Amino acid sequence: MPQKKLRVELLAMTPEPLSLIYAAFRQCYHAGFVADMWPRLLSGEIGREKQAEFVQSVLESGHDSPVEHVSFSFAVEGISRACSHQLVRHRIASYSQQSQRYVDESDMDYILPPAIARIPEARERFETLMVEISGAYRELRGLLAANGRGAKANEDARFVLPQAAETKIVLTMNCRALLHFFSLRCCARAQWEIRDMALAMLAICRDRLPALFAVAGARCERLGYCPESARFTCGRYPLRDNGA
């Protein structure tokens, strides 16, 4: 039952994402039919740089719904159940998560919070507890199986598993949902684990679609000031001047 480390991999994304977003934006303002423009976009007749400039200029106006036509699908492992509970609160997304009902957790992997890892006594207590919980799970699973629960023993034994238990998940978000996700979860105030995951996802998105994600991230990075109150700001950016 080792500690698990975060791993984020891109499984798939919408083909020709920049051209698709460009076409969707253009259709909003173009009298013609963008399907007739599509071959020119793919051939490079309408260059990528021009497409990117147009997309960025429209986004700056606040019009962002056409970016919903492009989505990214990620596979993530090495996150805790505590993290996944935060993740699935982002509702404009699709999730497929490893089930503790069907997967045997007798050798449960777990996530060790860095703050606990830095304190030897805390780490020792935490790791001892993980071993104790795994033992309790195995014992309960065996008792349940021996008393008629059979293959469904996991279903009830899982009730002793901690939030530290590692989970794996596939998630798909469109670009508008991703921009919102990054604005919240890349913030210094976000919980460390989901922030690490968000930053790893953002790095992939920036590499694959820089025209859209180059300026994505915590809200302060886009705004140039901290939208939080003086009580909650991390101090990285100045607070908004409410008198301006």
Which sequence positions are flagged as catalytic? 185
Whether the Cβ atoms of residue 195 and residue 218 lie closer than 8 Å to each other:
no
Q: Distance (Å, rounded) from C-alpha 115 to C-alpha 117?
A: 6
> How many other CB atoms sit within 10 Å of the CB of residue 241?
7
Query: For the residues of 81-110, what is the DSSP string, one character each?
Result: HHHHHHHTT--SSEEEE--TTTS--TT--B
184-220: burial string, b at 16+ Cβ within 10 Å, e else: bbbbbebeebbbbbbbebbebbbeebebbbeebbbbb
Q: Distance (Å, rounded) from C-alpha 228 to C-alpha 211?
A: 27
Nearest to 64 by CA among 172, 175, 204: 175
Q: Distance (Å, rounded) from C-alpha 211 to C-alpha 56?
A: 7
